[in-house]
């Protein structure tokens, strides 16, 4: 029974976050335990006591999934694994186990409004017929005039929210990424 104690904390107190002391971090830059120049889950696990001594009650992890890292890790290629530079799924599970043991909550940044162009969903969508189920996972157009009034988020880098995809032979709505790095869902 005790092993499920931490899994139900939000159910016991759904407002736990109001008094939480949250430490947000990039795994890759937090602590490099193996001296390869990149932080990982093993290093983060080693420093849990340090974080707890600071008074931290929750750790917010910025994206750590497999990614080409063209958008600071927000261009996710696989939501079910760990970027190989940060460790393994086993390392991540060990981190979660040790954090729970210390009563530390873990928040993961889940980016669901766009993916990497390497993600299987995008690869399937760009090859699917227009109007098909898979093609409709993303927003495509034959003209850049659609959503013309939508704000261009990175005006210093982009002049349009659309990027031409040569495989799909269509424009892809990609307002968050510098084309052709990612794909807007």
pLDDT, one tens digit per residue, over 85-94 is 999 999 999 9
40 contacts 34 by C-beta, under 8 angstroms: yes
Q: In sequence order, which residues have a C-beta less than 8 Å from that of residue 49 and are 6 or more positions away?
A: 102
Find tokens 């940060």 and name the residue. Answer: 86
The per-residue pLDDT for 137 is 92
Q: Which domains does the chain have, with CATH numbers?
A: 2-108 (3.30.750.90), 116-184 (3.90.400.10)
**Digit-coded pLDDT (tens) for 128-152:** 999 999 999 999 998 888 777 777 7
The per-residue pLDDT for 44 is 98
- In three-state secondary structure terms, 169 is coil
d(CA 172, CA 185): 10
Q: In sequence order, which residues have a C-beta less than 8 Å from that of residue 46 and are 6 or more positions away?
A: 31, 33
Q: What are phi and psi of 177, to 5 degrees?
A: -125, 155
**Digit-coded pLDDT (tens) for 108-132:** 998 988 898 899 999 999 999 999 9
Question: What mean pLDDT is reported for the chain?
Answer: 88
State the CB neighbour count (10 A cutoff) for residue 162.
25
Report percent pLDDT > 70 for the chain: 88
């Amino acid at each position: 029974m005790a092993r499920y104690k931490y899994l139900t904390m939000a159910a016991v107190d759904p407002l736990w976050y109001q008094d939480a002391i949250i430490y947000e971090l990039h795994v890759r830059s937090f602590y490099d335990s193996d001296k390869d120049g990149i932080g990982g889950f093993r290093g983060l696990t080693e420093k849990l006591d340090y974080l707890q001594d600071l008074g931290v009650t929750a750790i917010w992890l910025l994206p750590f999934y497999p990614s080409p890292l063209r958008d600071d890790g927000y261009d996710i290629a696989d939501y079910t694994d760990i970027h190989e530079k940060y460790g393994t799924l086993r390392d991540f599970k060990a981190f979660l186990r040790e954090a729970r043991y210390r009563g530390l909550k873990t928040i993961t940044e889940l980016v669901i409004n766009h993916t990497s162009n390497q993600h299987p969903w995008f690869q399937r969508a760009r090859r699917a017929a227009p109007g098909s189920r898979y093609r409709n996972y993303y927003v495509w157009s034959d003209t850049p005039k659609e959503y013309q009034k939508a704000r261009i988020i990175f005006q210093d880098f982009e002049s349009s929210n659309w990027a031409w995809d040569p495989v799909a032979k269509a424009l892809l709505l990609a307002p968050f990424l510098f084309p052709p790095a990612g794909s807007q869902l």
